[in-house]
């Protein structure tokens, strides 16, 4: 990295030109920050990009830590970055045209060990305004009061709402 002119280093380039000016490898290098004595940050970033091209953004920490030069910290930085992107980009551009459009917005409920009750407020075009957790219950129940359900939807001036509730015991209802 010392051989790379300062203006072409990932972080400096990101600051001066913005994230769209960086390649995938440079973006990964900016996230992980540095390499190791044995491997340059660009080598590590290149290997991560290859894994992303074959496995997609569903990479797990374990998929990354098996790479030379990628420990728990770097792997967690990458996985956390993708999770943030998933949460915000999917929700920002979400338009509900049918039941199939809801699952990507609530897929995080699949791993939960307790019951959750969510409210998705939509505008008149069926676009997501906001996703909110109304209640977080116990293993087998989640008390919900209408006041809590509708208060934020009214504030959002929502044209419609969708309610989502999970069952951690695995029974679909």
pLDDT in tens, 51-82: 888 887 678 899 999 999 999 999 999 989 88
83 pLDDT more than 60 = yes
pLDDT at 173: 45
Q: Which residues form the domain of 81?
A: 6-92
Give the Cα separation of 86 and 88 in Å (integer).
6
Whether 27 maps to a domain, the answer reads yes
| Domains held by the chain: number | 2
Q: So what's the pLDDT on residue 92?
A: 64
Domain boundary among 92, 118, 147: 92
Is 173 a member of any domain? no
Average pLDDT taken over every residue of the chain = 85
Pairing of strands 128-136, 116-122: antiparallel
If asked whether residues 13 and 67 sit together in one domain, one would say yes
pLDDT number for residue 90: 60
Check whether residue 15 and residue 87 sit in a common domain. Answer: yes
- Asked if residue 136 and residue 81 are part of one domain, the reply reads no
- Of 38, 73, 92, the position where a domain reaches its end is 92
Does residue 1 belong to any structural domain of this protein? no
86 plus 119 within the same structural domain: no
172 falls within a domain: no
Q: Which of 32, 58, 92 is the last residue of a domain?
A: 92
Alpha-carbon distance values, 81 to 43, 68, 124 (Å): 20, 20, 31
Q: Which residue has the higher pLDDT, 108 or 90?
A: 108
Residues 73 and 39 in one domain: yes
- What are 38-49's pLDDT values in tens digits? 898 999 999 999
105 in the same domain as 64: no
**CATH number reported for the structural domain that contains residue 118 in this entry:** 3.40.140.10
- Tell me if 60 sits within 8 A of 111, measured CB to CB: no
The reported pLDDT for the residue numbered 162 is: 94
Over the stretch 117-163, which tens digit does the pLDDT of each residue have?
999 999 999 998 888 889 888 777 788 888 988 999 999 999 999 99
Checking if the pLDDT of 87 tops 80, the result is no
């Amino acid at each position: 990295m010392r051989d790379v002119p300062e203006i072409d280093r990932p972080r400096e380039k990101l600051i001066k030109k913005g994230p769209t000016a960086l390649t995938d490898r440079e973006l990964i290098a900016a996230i992980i920050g540095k390499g190791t004595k044995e491997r340059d940050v660009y080598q590590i970033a290149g290997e991560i990009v290859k894994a992303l091209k074959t496995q997609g953004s569903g990479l797990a920490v374990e998929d990354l830590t098996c790479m030379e030069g990628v420990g728990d910290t770097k792997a967690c930085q990458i996985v956390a970055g993708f999770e943030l992107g998933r949460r915000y980009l999917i929700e920002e551009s979400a338009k509900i045209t049918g039941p199939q459009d809801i699952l990507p917005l609530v897929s995080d409920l699949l791993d939960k060990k307790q019951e959750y009750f969510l409210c998705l407020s939509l505008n008149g075009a069926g676009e997501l305004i906001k996703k909110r957790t109304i209640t977080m219950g116990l293993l087998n129940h989640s008390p919900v009061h209408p006041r809590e359900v509708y208060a934020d939807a009214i504030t959002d001036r929502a044209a419609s709402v969708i309610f989502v509730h999970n069952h951690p015991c695995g029974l679909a209802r």
